């Protein structure tokens, strides 16, 4: 069976597309979107998506709120969050979430994905 697709969500589309290209170059199918709305549309339209990698600091909806929406709408969908800014005392991260600090090595992202996305 083919690998499940990773959905990369970042308000900087160039960054999201770069991550998707890097994942693809390592044999991991991926698609990139720049908005939470685009991510939800992609999830509704593409049943091959098996994991979401999302930025935390986005203008319309932050990654923690997006994670809560995902857990409500797609309860079993694994999520990895990423951020270029340190978490603060005002953040309310879910207990079970994995956060990658930008910049990160592609190997760290691949490891986080492999731990959460079983082979199908």
- Summarised one tens digit per residue, pLDDT across range 77-90 is 999 999 988 776 67
DSSP code for 45: H
Average pLDDT score over the chain: 91
Render pLDDT for 4-38 as a digit per residue (tens, 0 to 9). 999 999 999 999 999 999 999 999 999 999 999 99
Alpha-carbon gap, residue 31 to 17, rounded angstroms: 7
Q: What is the pLDDT of residue 120?
A: 47
Q: Residue 65: CB partners within 8 Å, gap ≥ 6?
A: none
Structure confidence at residue 84 (pLDDT): 86
Which residues form the domain of 54? 5-116
Closest CA to 67 of 101, 89, 99: 99
Tally of residues, the chain: 120
pLDDT of residue 18: 97
Total domains in the chain come to 1
Half-sphere exposure of 78 (CA within 13 A, CB side): 15
Q: In this structure, are residues 109 and 23 in contact, taking their beta carbons and an 8 Å threshold? A: yes
* pLDDT of res. 117: 87
CATH of the domain at 20: 3.40.50.2300
Tell me how far apart the alpha carbons of residues 82 and 68 are, in angstroms, rounded to a whole number: 15
| Closest of 70, 60, 67 to residue 98, by C-alpha | 67
Tens digit of each residue's pLDDT (9 = 90 or more) over 39-64: 999 999 999 999 999 999 998 888 88
């Amino acid at each position: 069976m083919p690998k499940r697709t990773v959905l990369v969500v970042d308000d900087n589309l160039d960054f999201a597309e770069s991550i998707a290209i890097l994942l693809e170059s390592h044999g991991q199918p991926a698609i990139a979107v720049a908005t939470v709305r685009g991510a939800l549309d992609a999830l509704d339209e593409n049943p091959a998506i098996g994991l979401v990698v999302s930025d935390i600091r986005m203008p319309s909806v932050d990654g923690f709120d997006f994670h809560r929406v995902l857990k409500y709408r797609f309860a079993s969908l694994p999520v990895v969050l990423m951020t270029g800014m340190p978490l603060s005392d005002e953040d309310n991260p879910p207990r079970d979430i994995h956060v990658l600090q930008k910049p990160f090595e592609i190997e760290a992202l691949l490891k986080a994905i492999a731990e959460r996305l079983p082979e199908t």
